[in-house]
Structure 1
Amino acid sequence: MWALAGFLGLTLLVGTVEGIATIPNIKSWYDLLPHPPLTPPNGVFGPVWTILYIGMAVAAWRIWRCGDVLGDHRRALTLWGWQLAVNALWAPLFFGLHRPAIAIGVILVLDGLVAATILAFRRIDRIAGLLLMPYLAWSLFASYLTVGFWWLNR
């Protein structure tokens, strides 16, 4: 269970850091921008990301506890770590530095890493791969929003 707590702590730490970059910029910058269609209310993002981070942590823990199944677990967890690191870059770029154009590049890399992580996880543990599917869906939606914000505010 310590490993699960570690994965949860790491993902929620990333979420906290992103919140620190995001929250001060919501009223002073983000709310003043024209928003793309389908942009959810601000109160949706925190709960959705919290659920996604918990799912990401549980998925990684499931892979970790499998051991070296097919020799893939180290590669799968490395991909997971990379996607988490890239995820941590998006909010500081978009909200903190107000750079949606750069954030587009970051989120497109994130989309690819999440998809690759799902495939790697699925080979080892089907449930772990499935746990990341909502994250990929939300990341793709966030990609649409990021491009939309850039387009409407360039």
Structure 2
Amino acid sequence: MDTKGKASGKKINWLHLLGFMFGVMVIGSLAGIANAGNITTWYATLEKPPFNPPNSLFGPVWTVLYALMGVGIYLVWKSPDSPQRKKAIQVFIVQLVLNFCWSFIFFYFHLIGWAAIEIVLLLGMIIWMILIFRRVDKLAAYLQLPYLLWVSFATLLNVSIWWLNR
């Protein structure tokens, strides 16, 4: 975004931008809130690898990632109508649903192995989303790179926890 309130050469509608950011953060927060009780109970009893971050790190990281996702989908949504834009929005929705479901598979149902399979699917959808976003709005794609890196790390963490607790 430049100093004149433009992103990717287009004027920013701040209300829409905040709406997209808020909407994505609400969806992510709902999964987190619904499963919070299992973090201090069931999750605390699992054996974890030495690189497992403190629980206090997850909330702030996910807040930033959901905000970046919101900005990214806003930029795509603001782009001219095209088949690529439509596909980018569809892929975004699918990856967001997978993101939402992972928390329930892992924390609510305690299906660590199934969660590992699901997060690999999510990782693939994130890569696809970035590739499709790039065709529509490069900034939207680049804003998803921290999400890709974090979910790559989360995939390693999920698989490691499954391995240690199988």
Trace 1:3-14 onto structure 2 (pairs within 5 A). 3-14=16-27
CA distance in 1, matches of 2:93, 2:19: 13
Higher helix share: 1
Which of the two has higher C-alpha Rg? 2
Secondary structure of residue in 2 paired with 1:67 = coil
1:6 CA displacement:
3.3
1:88 CA displacement:
0.3
Runs of 4+ aligned structure 1 residues displaced above 2 Å come to 1-6
CA distance in 2, matches of 1:129, 1:105: 24
Equivalent residue for 2:131, pick from 111, 119, 125: 119
- Does structure 2 conserve the Cα–Cα contact (< 8 Å) formed by 1:101 and 1:150? yes
- Does structure 1 conserve the Cα–Cα contact (< 8 Å) formed by 2:22 and 2:67? no
Secondary structure of residue in 2 paired with 1:36 = coil
Q: What residue in structure 1 maps to residue 89 of structure 2? A: 77
Give the TM-score normalised by structure 2: 0.88
Trace 1:2-151 onto structure 2 (pairs within 5 A). 2-69=15-82, 71-151=83-163
Percent identical pairs in the alignment equals 41
**Which segments of 5 or more consecutive residues in structure 2 lack a partner in the other structure?**
1-12
Give the TM-score normalised by structure 1: 0.94
1:67 CA displacement:
1.9
1:7 CA displacement:
1.9
Residue identity in the other structure for 2:129:
T
